[in-house]
Amino acid sequence: MRGRFISLEGGEGAGKTTLIQRLQAHLEGKGLEVIITREPGGTPGAEMLREILLTGSTDRWSAITEALLMYAARVDHVERLIQPALERGAWVLSDRFADSTTAYQGAAGGVSLERIKALHHAALGDFHPDLTLILDLDPLVGLRRTVERGEDPTRFELHDTDFHARLRQAFLDIANADTQRCAVLNAENSPDEVLAAALREIRTRLDRAA
């Protein structure tokens, strides 16, 4: 049987990494093969593109150039990792996928939704996650969390608060436009509460035994 593909989306510091690790532990406890990956990245070639996308000044690339680079990485990611894993029955959990391009380069960066959709169709056809979990959080809280991690900020984290406010609304708009695929989780809740909410969505939408 084909595996399941779940993407986790949201602004900076929303808790995607924590949730994805806890989902992996839970699903593996059910006897499933689980692959954790991320975007941009996930394959050697895509990780090389990640480095140039996430470092440097905020104006290193235009938004449309970013989108093209993101999709170059994404095609390699899907062809070399995600699709083969799904075909052998594994569950794939990805920290970000195509909705991040719609939000970051589209709504926040200014590339039209029509151009983003055309780019996705040209690159991946109708390939989308089976379920997308969107972690919703006040962007100021999320950015404070990223500072508290003590890591060097990515060039996306360095954008101003208006950019991050547009991001949050973009993810909510994505969820409202595709309620069959997307579920919004309150990332201000405790990690246990967020995990429980995510598992409810997985059991309802994908597999009651998960």
Q: What is the pLDDT of residues 34-63, one digit of tens each?
A: 999 999 999 999 999 999 998 888 889 999
Q: Does 83 score more than 80 pLDDT? A: yes
* Whole-prediction pTM: 0.92
Q: What is the pLDDT of residues 144-172, one digit of tens each?
A: 877 777 777 777 777 778 888 898 999 99
Fold designation for 5-205 = Rossmann fold (3.40.50)
**Where is pLDDT greater, at 141 or 188?**
188
Enumerate the domain spans of the chain.
Answer: 5-205
Q: Which amino acid is at 190?
A: S
Q: What is the pLDDT of residue 11?
A: 86
**What order do you get walking across the sheet with 131-136 strand by strand?**
34-38, 91-95, 5-10, 131-136, 182-186
